[in-house]
Every structure is written in structure tokens, then in C-alpha cells.
Amino acid sequence: MRIVDLTLTIREGMTTFPVPWHPFVEITQLGRFGIEDRETRKLVLGTHTGTHVDAPRHFIPEGASIDAIAPEQLVGPARVCDFTQARDFQMIGIDELEDELGEERPERIILRYDWSRQLDTMRYYTDHPFLSEQAANWLVQRGCRLLAMDTPMPDDPKNGKGCDIDSPIHKILLGNGVVLVEYLCNLAALRQKQVQLVVAPLKILDGDGAPARVFALEDEAIS
């Protein structure tokens, strides 16, 4: 079994969504060898720092919180959809999803754009590909329960600038109980389209989301 880590390392100065309601990461060392004779640190981070899970509560007032999401939804077979040829700011519609999935109806889907290569630039937030509303509804109708991606969000990056609805793709997916996993990295290391996905978010009471360790398991015999 081959294990591929898909998680960003949490560090000061890391990429953080540039809005007031997402804090910058702060890491302060408290315990020190030679003084307290142990190491401890204080962390300041948000529920959507780095690789993280969006619970329905993020946008849906009565939606499930992160601590209420069953592990069975977060762990299991996942289908990798290769959109590495997508252009900057390209909208992914039903046709593109059908070309990738055909008649498959996976419960867990990973959208691979290799967009993590744009980390630490503003292009990461301004130019990423995104889903159409029709595509989001199509995924719901086909039984998707978890959608993961190596972009900061599934919505149009120009969302909020003259748009009639704030974050419509988030609301379609989260409103139908689909869990989102954002800010993945290292998807280029995957060799297979079918993997076992493990998503392990912090269990925060009534949390709207949480940082997560995410990795994929591949069967080496198939490589």
C-alpha cells in the first residue's frame, strides 16, 4: 500500500484567504529545552486554515457541524478527476465531469487541477478553475457526499464582485450535505484514478469547519 500525503504544512506566513474573517497563523513556542525541559507551542489558526474540511454549518445555518460528520463520510474510496489541462479561471461544467466520470457515481470525488503550484501567489485565489451551478447540482443528484480539491474553493473566484448570490456552489453542495475538502496539495504524486481517501479533521464542537490531515492510499499492485 502506497501512502500519499495531500496536506499542507501549517506554518507562519502560509497562504491564508485574504479576508478579515480568516486569521493569519501564529505559532508561539512556550516550553523550551534547557528552561522548562520540554517543548510546547501555542497555535492561533482558523477553522479554514490550510488543508481543511468545510462542514455544512459553514454556510447553512442549521447545517451539520464538523463534530457531527460521520467518519464513514470522510474515509473510503474516492475517484480522482484529472482537470490539469483546465485553463485559468475555467468553469467546469457537466460536460467536463461526464467526460471524466462517464457512468460512474462515486460518493467521494477529488478534483485535480495541480493548482497548489500557485500557492503563495495571489493567482491562487484570483484565477483558479471552478464549478458551474449546473455541475454542482449534477454532483448532488449523482450521489456525491464528499468533494475534495486542490483549489481554495469550488466557487467562481470573482464571487462577491457583482454576483447575485454569495458562494452559490458552497451553498448547493453544503446545503445538500456534501462535505468539502479544500486546499489539497501534492495531487500530482497520485498514480491512480481510484484511491482510498482518508480525511481527518479536528473534532470541534459546533465547528463550521476544521483543519485536517488528508492522505490517499494507493494499491501498489495496480501501479
Has residue 118 been placed in a domain?
yes
Residue 77's domain is classified under what CATH number?
3.50.30.50
Q: Distance between CA 200 and CA 213 in Å, rounded?
A: 5
Nearest to 77 by CA among 108, 112, 111, 101: 108
3-class SS of residue 220: coil
Whole-angstrom distance between the N-terminal and C-terminal Cα of the chain?
Answer: 10
Has residue 108 been placed in a domain?
yes
Domain enclosing residue 86, as ranges: 2-218
Residue-wise pLDDT for 20-30, tens only, equals: 899 999 999 99
Q: Lowest-pLDDT range, 48-52, 74-78, 161-165?
A: 161-165
Has residue 186 been placed in a domain?
yes
Given a cut of 60, whether residue 161 has pLDDT beyond it is no
User: What's the confidence (pLDDT) of residue 18?
Assistant: 87
Averaged pLDDT, 183-198: 98
% residues pLDDT > 90 (the chain): 91
Structure confidence at residue 165 as a pLDDT band (50, 70, 90): confident
Has residue 223 been placed in a domain?
no
Total domains, the chain: 1
User: What's the confidence (pLDDT) of residue 179?
Assistant: 98
Has residue 152 been placed in a domain?
yes
User: What's the confidence (pLDDT) of residue 207?
Assistant: 98
Structure confidence at residue 163 as a pLDDT band (50, 70, 90): low
Q: Count CB-CB contacts under 10 A for residue 166.
A: 11
Structure confidence at residue 159 as a pLDDT band (50, 70, 90): confident
- Structural contact between residues 48 and 17, judged by C-beta atoms closer than 8 angstroms: yes
Has residue 64 been placed in a domain?
yes
- Structural contact between residues 153 and 115, judged by C-beta atoms closer than 8 angstroms: no
Query: What burial class does residue 192 get, using C-beta atoms within 10 Å of its C-beta: 0-12 exposed, 13-18 middle, 19+ buried?
Result: middle
